[in-house]
Amino acid sequence: MKTGGAYDGAYGVVGALCALELLDARKIATEHPIEAVAWAGEEGSRFPLGCLGSAVFAGLTPADEALALVDEDGTSLRDALARDASGLLRDVAQRDDSEVAAYVELHVEQGPILERAGVRLGIVTAIAAQRRFRVTIEGDSGHAGTVPMAGRSDALMAAAEIILAVESSARDLGEAVVTVGRMLVEPGSPNVIPARVTFSLDMRSPTDATVEALERTLHDALARTKSSRGVRARLETLEGRQATPMTPRMREAVRRAAASTGERSIDVPSGAGHDTMCVAAIAPVAMLFVPSIGGLSHVGVEKTSDADLELGVEALAAALVEVDRDLRAKSPPRMHFFICGSALRGQPDHKNLGDARFVREARTAPRYRLHSVRDQHPGIYEVGIGGISIAGELYEFTPEQYEHLLANEPPDLYEGSIILDDGSTASAMIYPRKLIEERGFPDISHYGGWAAYKAAKIS
SS3 171: helix
Confidence of residue 316 (pLDDT cuts 50, 70, 90): very high
Residue 50 has pLDDT above 80, yes or no: no
285, 248 in Cβ contact below 8 A?
no
Range list of β-strands (E), 255-376? 265-270, 285-290, 335-339, 357-363, 368-373
- Residue 289's contacts (CB-CB under 8 Å, 6 or more residues apart) are 107, 108, 109, 114, 121, 122, 123, 124, 268, 270
Task: Provide mean pLDDT across the span 137-146.
Answer: 96
Tell whether the model's pLDDT for residue 428 goes beyond 90. no
CB 235 within 8 Å of CB 225: no
CATH number (domain holding residue 49): 3.40.630.10
For residue 85, the model assigns a pLDDT of 66
- List Cα–Cα distances, 13 to 130, 194, 257, 336, 353, in angstroms: 24, 44, 19, 33, 36
Residue 1: inside a domain, yes or no?
Answer: no
The reply to whether 205 and 94 lie within a common domain is: no
- The answer to which of 105-109, 190-194, 217-221, 346-350 has the lowest mean pLDDT is 346-350
pLDDT of 426 over the 90 cut: no
Burial degree of 228 (CB within 10 A; 0-12, 13-18, 19+): exposed
CA dist 22 and 321 (Å) reads 12
Last residue of a domain, one of 265, 296, 330: 330
Q: Which residue has the higher pLDDT, 182 or 340?
A: 182
Same structural domain, 347 and 215: no
Q: Are residues 311 and 204 in the same domain?
A: no
What is the CATH number for 402?
3.10.490.10
- For residues 142 and 228, membership in a common domain is answered with yes
Domain total for the chain?
3
380 in the same domain as 300: no
Cis before residue 187, ω within 30 degrees of 0? yes
Residue 452 pLDDT: 87
Coil, helix or strand for 420? Answer: strand
**What b/e string do you get for 72-95 counting C-beta neighbours within 10 Å, with b at 16 or more?**
eeeeebeebeeeeeeeeeeeeeee
Tell me whether residue 3 is in a domain: no
Question: Are 353 and 429 in a shared domain?
Answer: yes
CA pair distance 459, 445, nearest whole angstrom = 18
In percent, how much of the chain has pLDDT > 70? 95
Q: Is residue 5 part of a domain?
A: no
Residue type, 17: L
* Domain presence at residue 252: yes
Looking at the structure, tell me whether residues 30 and 100 fall in a common domain. yes
Q: How confident is the model at residue 175 (pLDDT cuts 50, 70, 90)?
A: confident
What are residue 414's DSSP bridge partners?
430
Domain presence at residue 282: yes
Residues 445 and 388: their CA atoms lie apart, in Å, by: 7
Are the C-beta atoms of 404 and 352 separated by less than 8 Å?
yes
pLDDT number for residue 459:
66
Percentage above 90 pLDDT, the chain? 55
One domain, residues 278 and 150:
no
Q: Answer yes or no: are the C-beta atoms of 312 and 121 closer than 8 Å.
A: yes
pLDDT of residue 331 exceeding 70: no
Range name among 74-83, 171-180, 222-231, 319-328 with the lowest pLDDT average? 74-83
Domain of 228, CATH number, reads 3.30.70.360
Q: What local confidence, expressed as pLDDT, does residue 342 receive?
A: 77
Tell whether 252 and 118 lie within a shared domain: yes
Question: CA-to-CA distance for 432 and 223, rounded, in angstroms?
Answer: 81
Q: What is the pLDDT of residue 81?
A: 84
Question: Is residue 86's pLDDT more than 70?
Answer: no
Given this model, what pLDDT does residue 432 score?
82
- pLDDT reported for residue 437: 83
pLDDT at 366: 92
pLDDT digits (tens, 9 = 90+) for 373-400: 888 888 888 887 888 999 999 998 887 7
Q: pLDDT averaged over the chain? A: 89
Phi, psi dihedral angles at 178 (to 5 degrees):
-130, 145
**Minimal CA–CA distance to 447: which of 391, 393, 385, 394?**
391
Does residue 4 lie within any of the structural domains? Answer: no
Find the range with the poorest average confidence among 91-105, 165-179, 214-228. 91-105
Q: Do 351 and 312 share a structural domain?
A: no
Distance in angstroms (rounded) separating the CA atoms of residues 10 and 47: 19
Question: Looking at the domain assignment, is residue 2 inside a domain?
Answer: no
183 vs 397, residue with greater confidence: 183
Cα separation, 189 vs 185, in Å, equals 9
On whether the CB atoms of residues 123 and 265 are closer than 8 A, the answer is yes
Give me the domain span that covers residue 146.
129-241
